[in-house]
Amino acid sequence: MRNNKLGRLYRDGEIVINKGDEGSCLFVIQEGKVEVFDENGGGEIKIAELGSGEFFGEMGLFEKDVRSCTVRASGNAKILTIDKKNFYKTIQKDPTLAYRLLQKMSFRLRELNKKVIQV
């Protein structure tokens, strides 16, 4: 099989990040999908499904807190990690690199507001 996607291969159902773990990198999906979920009273609450080109784990870049959700591969997925140290060094030189991250975080906040209003 041609090896033509970057990142690490996560098999269907494999955990990429665990809620409560310390986080020091951002993840970008190169191929496939992941599910973001939280646990509540023994059950799972699906928060989002993300696909190729989307990122997750961004809170770990800005906060020292632990991962807030669990993320697992939904089908086989290839995921690239962007380490915090390198990312900060690059942003220091080129702040525009953070724009898309802010844009996406703003979008996610808007979506969350909508959900809160619905509840």
Partner 1 sequence: MSMRDFSSEHFVLEDGSKIAVIGGGPAGSFFTYFAIDFAERMGLDISIDIYEAKDFTCAGPQGCNNCGGIVSESLIQSLSAEGVVLPSKVIQRGIESYTLHLENGSTVIKTPLEEQRIASMFRGFGPKGNTDTNTASFDNFLFGLCQEKGARVISERVSEAIRTADAVTLTTKDGNKARYDLVVGAVGLNGKALSLFKSICPSFEPPETTKTYISEFQMEPELIDKHFGNSMHVFLLNLPNIKFGALIPKDNYVTLVLLGSDINMEIACSFINSKSVMKLFPRGIKLDDITPCKCFPSINVKGAKLAYDDRVVLVGDSASSKLYKNGVGAAYITGKAAANAAIFNGISANAFKKYYQPVCSELDNDNKLGKFIFSVTGIIQKSHLLKGALLSMVISEQHKASHKRRMSSVLWDTFTGSAAYKNIFVRCLNPLLLVSLVWNIIKSTLNLIFKKK
Q: Which residues bind partner 1 (CB under 8 A)?
A: 2-8, 26, 28, 30-31, 52-53, 55, 80-83, 86-87, 90, 94, 96-97, 99-101
Q: Which lies closer to partner 1 via its Cβ, residue 48 or residue 98?
A: 98
Q: Which lies closer to partner 1 via its Cβ, residue 7 or residue 68?
A: 7
Q: Which lies closer to partner 1 via its Cβ, residue 9 or residue 66?
A: 9
Q: Which lies closer to partner 1 via its Cβ, residue 47 or residue 91?
A: 91
Nearest distance in Å: CB 46, partner 1: 24
Euclidean distance between CA atoms 27 and 21, whole angstroms: 15
Continuous segment of H or E residues that includes residue 29: strand 25-40
Neighbours of 27 (CB within 10 A): 25
Nearest distance in Å: CB 70, partner 1: 20
Euclidean distance between CA atoms 9 and 5, whole angstroms: 9
Nearest distance in Å: CB 108, partner 1: 15
φ, ψ at 70 (rounded to 5°): -100, 145
Euclidean distance between CA atoms 15 and 104, whole angstroms: 23
Nearest distance in Å: CB 63, partner 1: 18
Euclidean distance between CA atoms 87 and 107, whole angstroms: 21
